[in-house]
């Protein structure tokens, strides 16, 4: 464990976990997450442009984000011009009740730049104003909007963290079961895959998890699901079907209460013959990738995502 990771874990335990455990839902948490995300590292050349992803008359606001390529004559080693025929579709986290494209734009941009792409980050609807399956419908609309724009499915990678990882897997089952064009790959970072909270890690890692508290689970479920079943396959993708699924990469930290969500989700995907890779990172906290530029373990994780996806994109 690096010295930086020790400091991050200490800060998360003292500041982040109490804020998420004791802050009111949903509005104070929304403000806290958006305010905190301003401290994430912003890479040189970062840009974010507001847009709307439109399909069949339905529109979802969001961002196009990435890292601008220096003009000719710029520094050596500049990133290649992003491929306009593809994109990273990034779904932000926030427990289905918080988060925004802005809170994940920096990470989405870095991940996309590693793949010579730009990133689309939809502002899907949040609970409790818009309960399940509103967010699921919005991310499906966004994916279809990218196809309508002429992007090649084989050059699209779907990614997301935490509840966004849940939405990645929910979108994936809809793509697979509806016969929609498959993306090149999917990446789920610290995903919530089982809203029944049946994994043993919810109890075994309750103390070691420096971010998430199990006490908030039922409250978040009530706000997000309302009267829907917790084991609905779209809400809890570990119960879903994935015929003809593209390769999937799952990242999770060894401290997380969501550790078993990653493991059981991988087992479910393998039942359908999916190529699945699960990377478990020792001592890393929930969705640590957001600390890129500060935390070596975050930069390493992003490099592993790039190494997984680039061959699948033909890079």
Rounded-to-integer distance, Cα 125 and Cα 137, Å: 9
- The encoded tokens of residue 87 equal 């994109």
Give yes or no for a contact between 159 and 92, defined as CB atoms under 8 angstroms apart: no
Give yes or no for a contact between 105 and 65, defined as CB atoms under 8 angstroms apart: yes
- Interhelix angle 296-312/3-11, nearest 10 degrees: 100
Rounded-to-integer distance, Cα 161 and Cα 126, Å: 15
Give the active site residue among 162, 190, 193, 236: 162
* Catalytic-residue membership of 198: no
CA angle, residues 301, 315, 41, in degrees to nearest 5? 35
Segments in 162-285 forming alpha helices (H): 163-178, 201-204, 217-225, 259-270
Rounded-to-integer distance, Cα 106 and Cα 70, Å: 18
* Catalytic-residue membership of 200: no
Give the active site residue among 100, 251, 256, 297: 256
Give yes or no for a contact between 122 and 60, defined as CB atoms under 8 angstroms apart: yes
* Catalytic-residue membership of 286: yes
The number of helices, as runs of H, and strands, as runs of E, in the chain is 10, 8
Give the active site residue among 286, 289, 290, 292: 286
Residue bearing tokens 């990218």: 146
- The residues carrying an active-site annotation are 162, 256, 286
């Amino acid at each position: 464990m690096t010295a930086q990771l020790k400091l991050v874990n200490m800060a998360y335990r003292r500041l982040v976990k109490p804020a998420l455990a004791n802050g009111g839902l949903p509005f104070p948490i929304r403000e806290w997450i958006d305010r905190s995300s301003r401290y994430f590292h912003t890479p040189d050349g970062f840009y974010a442009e507001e847009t709307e992803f439109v399909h069949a008359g339905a529109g979802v606001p969001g961002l196009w984000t990435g890292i601008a390529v220096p003009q000719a004559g710029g520094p050596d080693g500049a990133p290649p011009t992003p491929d306009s025929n593809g994109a990273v579709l990034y779904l932000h986290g926030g427990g289905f009740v918080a988060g925004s494209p802005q809170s994940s734009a920096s990470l989405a941009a870095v991940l996309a730049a590693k793949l010579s792409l730009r990133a689309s980050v939809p502002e899907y609807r949040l609970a409790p104003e818009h309960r399940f399956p509103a967010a699921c419908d919005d991310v499906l609309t966004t994916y279809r909007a990218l196809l309508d724009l002429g992007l090649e499915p084989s050059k699209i990678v779907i990614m997301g963290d935490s509840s966004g990882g849940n939405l990645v897997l929910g979108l994936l089952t809809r793509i697979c079961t509806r016969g929609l064009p498959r993306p090149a790959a999917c990446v789920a970072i610290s995903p919530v895959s089982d809203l029944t909270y049946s994994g043993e890690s919810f109890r075994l890692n309750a103390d070691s998890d420096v971010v998430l508290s199990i006490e908030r689970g039922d409250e978040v479920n009530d706000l997000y699901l309302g009267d829907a079943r917790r084991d609905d396959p779209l809400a809890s993708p570990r119960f879903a079907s994935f015929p003809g699924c593209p390769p999937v990469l799952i990242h999770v930290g060894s401290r997380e209460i969501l550790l078993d969500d990653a493991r059981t989700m991988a087992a479910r995907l393998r039942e359908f013959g999916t190529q699945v890779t699960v990377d478990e990172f020792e001592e890393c906290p929930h969705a640590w990738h957001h600390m890129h530029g500060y935390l070596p373990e975050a930069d390493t994780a992003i490099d592993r995502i790039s190494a997984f996806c680039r061959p699948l994109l033909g890079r």
